[in-house]
Amino acid sequence: MTGISAGTGKRLFFLFTKIYKYIPVAIAAGVILVSSCTKLSEFDIGKDFIESQTRLQVVDTFRVDLSTIIQDSLRTSGTKVALVGNLKDDLFGNVKCETYFDLAFSVFGAIEDKAYFDSAAFILPFTGYSVGDTLADMTVGIHALTEKITTGNDGYLYSINSFDYQPVPMSIVTIHPEPHSKIDTALNFRVDALGEDLFNKIRDNDVNVSSSEWFMDYIKGFVVTPGNSANKAVIGLNAAENKINLKIYYHLSLEEPEKKEITISMGEINHQFNHIDYDMSTTYLDNIKNSGNKKMASETGYKGYMQGLTGLITKVQFPSLQDIFMESNWKILKAELILEPVAHSYDNYPLPEKLYIYQTDMVSRASSVLRDERGNSISQLTDDDNNPLTATFDYDKILGENTRYTFDITSYINKELAGKYFEYKRGLHLGLSPDDYRTTLNRILFEGKRPPVKLRLYYLSY
């Protein structure tokens, strides 16, 4: 055994001395060979005689029924946004916004001796939001309420609620609503009479300023309204905490006069709300609330209406999608809903960049902001990460021809079709976010005929 292994060792050693010097060459050759390989993702030789078992087709001929539905009203209290103004809109009808609020009571400190009243004003800062013809001047007035603001049983106030107020305004201002103007950053209503009365009552420790109850009976609240003036725009005012204030200015008559002020802030946040009046009688939407809260596009010039605060929602239904079950062996890989705004319908009303899509809830939720025409709550479709699904917005600045909203509703369609039966009646609803519905008048007029709203399916058959 030992003799043999000695010989073997010698031979092996000899073999390795022979092979060793070639090892680097062999490795280099191997590396070159392997690295020169085509990436699998780029390999296409053989494609000419491969038989595919699948076909991908795009089908966008399924019928889409377009309609407009309207909300009974929207909850506008506590949104921290106050809206004032008028819209003169030939397409959607005229809209008037007025905002209500009351004042917060606080224990007023004693006013110093030798104090003399100077002036008083309501300061309502702008949010920067405006809609309509913002180049024209607008006039708004502030009125004192003759009844207290009280919420309904649910603790909220809605766009249809209103309270009585003095017919004569306490103060009127005319502003240039262009939000970029540096001069006006707030609405400033001069209310010296109210201010002086309050000043005197505070100084004299009057019973009306001694407690919340007395104070609220004395100062019930205010409404800022465009009245009957011919405004063409609506502006937003910041109604967040401590933003809307009544300021009473006075001075102390000393050797060196000293300026002082008293600030009374807006009251309960849920007592601030926006009242919306609209008149759609000159539009296709006339009488929509008496038509089951819904009008088919065929009754509205083949258009779908969507607008915040008036509560217009565009609805789409797919009545022929059920036909898809007549074929077997298919899968929907992608489903897109494509809507285009009517050309020139948005010249004075910028298109919202964020558009959402809602489906009717299987179990209606009482807390829902939005409802379908039958009063069932609707909620937003969500994406894979459970965020609300938004449309891809293509804005064609130059020609306006390719401006469109595209929703990827693949998972909705696949879910709805999973049951081998498609219930088309519930449909899908297109609109703003729930918050924007309550705080903006943003709107879109969707084209329903040329081109129609398209449901585009990427359809795999196998």
Partner 1 sequence: MRTARKTYIILLVILGFQTAIVTAQSTSSPYSVFGLGFLEGNSAGPFRAMGGTGIGFLSEKSVNYMNPASYCGIDSLISVFEVGLFGKYSTFSTSRESQSLFNSNLKYILMGFRVTPWLATSFGFSPYSSIGYNINTLSPIEGTNQQFVKTFTGEGGVNQVYFGGSVTPVKNLSLGFNAAYLFGNVTHTESSDLYSYYLEDITYISNFDFNYGLNYRVIVDKMRFSLGLIYGSSKKLKTENVTTIQTASATETLKKRSYKYNLPQNMGVGIAFTKGFFSAGFDFERSDWEDVQFKNAFIHTRNSNRYSLGIEFPSQGPKKGTTGMIFYRIGGEFRESYITIDNTPINYRALTLGAGIPLNNWISVVNVSLEVGQNGTTKNGLFRENFINLNLDLSFKDFWFVKKRYN
Chain residues in the site for partner 1 (CB under 8 A): 8, 11-12, 15, 33-34, 36-38, 40-60, 329, 331-334, 410-411, 414-415, 418, 458, 460, 462
Residue 48 vs 347, nearer CB to partner 1 = 48
* Nearest-angstrom CA–CA distance, 6 and 12: 10
C-alpha distance from residue 175 to each of 138, 181, 185, 307, 415 (Å): 5, 10, 10, 25, 52
Confirm if 411 and 417 have CB atoms less than 8 A apart: no
What sign for the dihedral angle of Cα 74, 134, 302, 457?
A: negative
Return the half-sphere exposure (C-beta side, CA atoms, 13 A cut-off) of residue 166: 13
Question: Between 41 and 290, whose beta carbon lies closer to partner 1?
Answer: 41
Q: How far is the CB of 41 from partner 1 (least distance, A)?
A: 6
> Closer CB to partner 1, residue 376 or residue 411?
411
Q: Is the dihedral of CA 186, 187, 192, 196 positive or negative?
A: negative
Spatial separation of the C-alpha atoms in residues 126 and 183, rounded to whole Å: 12
Q: Kindly tell me which of 3 and 155 has the beta carbon lying closer to partner 1.
A: 3
Q: What's the min distance (Å) between Cβ of 460 and partner 1?
A: 6
Minimum distance of partner 1 from residue 416's CB (angstroms):
11
State in angstroms the smallest separation of the CB of 379 from partner 1: 20
CB-nearer residue toward partner 1: 82 or 413: 413
Nearer to partner 1, 294 or 456 (CB): 456
Question: What type of residue sits at position 191?
Answer: V
Please, which residue, 18 or 180, has the CB nearer to partner 1?
A: 18
Q: Report the C-alpha gap between 404 and 412 in whole angstroms.
A: 20
**Nearest approach, Cβ of 6 to partner 1 (angstroms)?**
12
Minimum distance of partner 1 from residue 9's CB (angstroms): 9
Q: Kindly report the backbone phi and psi dihedral angles of residue 315, in degrees, each rounded to the nearest multiple of 5, phi listed first.
A: -115, 140
Beta bridge partners of 408: 336
Cβ(143)–Cβ(170) under 8 Å? Answer: yes
Q: How far is CA 394 from CA 50, 170, 338, in A?
A: 38, 47, 11
CB of 225 to partner 1, least distance (A): 52
